[in-house]
Structure 1
Amino acid sequence: MLDWVASLPLWQATIFLFVVVFFRAQLTFWLGKFMRKGLIKSKFGKSGQNAEEKRAGIAALEKYGWPVIPLSFLTVGFQSVVQLGAGFLDWNWLKYTLAALPGYLAWGFIYAFGGLALFRSITNGSIGLLIIALIVAFLVWAVGAVIVKKLRTNG
């Protein structure tokens, strides 16, 4: 589909993919912000809006969670959840964007350098897809366990 990107010099392909991931991640971030606004206005959102536990949890994620944003761009699939979550937690746009810039650059470089081709070759066989699914499931579980542990120690 985007074979013409592979034909570009590395620096041009990296810049093009940087712009692509910038807009995709920003859209996901803003979608999360709009979802939060809708939830807060709903009956469910208003009932728990002022809960101290929620504020402490959000503060803990803001304090410890920003490194997850650029690192998420080194994963497949998990990055969208992180971008959506940052918007849903109502992160400041500038703080989010500054945290994400290294991730945008890394993603653009990795994909321009052939990361997508490597991923496709691994997933062509069903065993490769199973291995990747298990790795992603483990990573999601590990990140969740770390977040829960930090929330319990701070709350």
Structure 2
Amino acid sequence: MQELWTVRSEFFWEARGFVVAYLFLFVVAMLRGQATYWLARVVTRQTLRRTSPTVGWRASVHRWLSGEGVARGTTSLQRWGVGMVPLCYLTVGFQTLVLAGAGVLQIRWPVFTLAQVPGALAWALIYSTIGFALWGAALAALAGQPLALAAVASVAVVVVATRAVLRRRRA
């Protein structure tokens, strides 16, 4: 009965082993990739081609899909082909742009899904082995270290402020 009330500070798969973690992360990667692809594909078809919203979340999505970031993703797909899809899983940030670019370019779903599988497998392997171990080590290092926490917060503030200034200059 005592075990029912014990609070555990671990991910649910840590007690279940590597295979469960790997499969869970693979499914997460596939679902995220498919969601990004279909959102970009449907929204592109409906929004970019038929409307031009000026306010609200629709305008934000319209600007994002027709903006510089997704344009870089579509350009890389046009230049390097569908091989960019599995490779994008090895990047941070560029991954979403390539997956959305595949939706914008209306790459056929079976082709996209087959290209996505090796990337999702690699992503799951990275995060189920060293990825979460690195996050855990970083959080443990920051726990109880006010100067380290202040340094991380300072870097975050600088990054956010720099992005805001760059966006304002472009506008």
TM-score for both structures, normalised by structure 2: 0.57
Equivalent residue for 2:113, pick from 94, 97, 119: 97
Displacement, 1:10? 1.4
Deviations 1:133-154 (A, max 9, x none): x9xxxxxxxxxxxxxxxxxxxx
Show structure 2 runs of 5+ residues with no match.
Answer: 1-8, 53-73, 143-147, 160-171
- 1:21 pairs with 2:26: no
Query: What is the aligned-residue RMSD (CA, Å)?
Result: 3.2
Corresponding pairs, count: 120
1-structure distance, mates of 2:84, 2:10: 28
In structure 2, what is the equivalent of residue 41 of structure 1?
50
In structure 1, what is the equivalent of residue 38 of structure 2?
30
- 1:65 pairs with 2:81: yes
Q: Which has the larger radius of gyration?
A: 2
Return closer, same or farther for 1:74/1:91 CA change in 2, 3 Å cut-off.
same
- 1:106 pairs with 2:114: no
In structure 2, what is the equivalent of residue 12 of structure 1?
20
Displacement, 1:62? 4.3
Which 4+ stretches in 1 moved above 6 angstroms? none
Deviations 1:78-121 (A, max 9, x none): 21111111101111111111111001111111111131332565
Displacement, 1:16? 1.0
- 1:83 pairs with 2:99: yes
Q: Output the amino acid matched with 1:41.
A: R
Return closer, same or farther for 1:59/1:77 CA change in 2, 3 Å cut-off.
closer
The answer (yes or no) to whether the contact 1:5–1:112 under 8 Å persists in 2 is no
Show structure 1 runs of 5+ residues with no match.
Answer: 44-57, 135-155
Which protein has greater RCO, CA pairs closer than 8 Å, 6+ apart? 1
TM-score for both structures, normalised by structure 1: 0.62
Identity %: 35
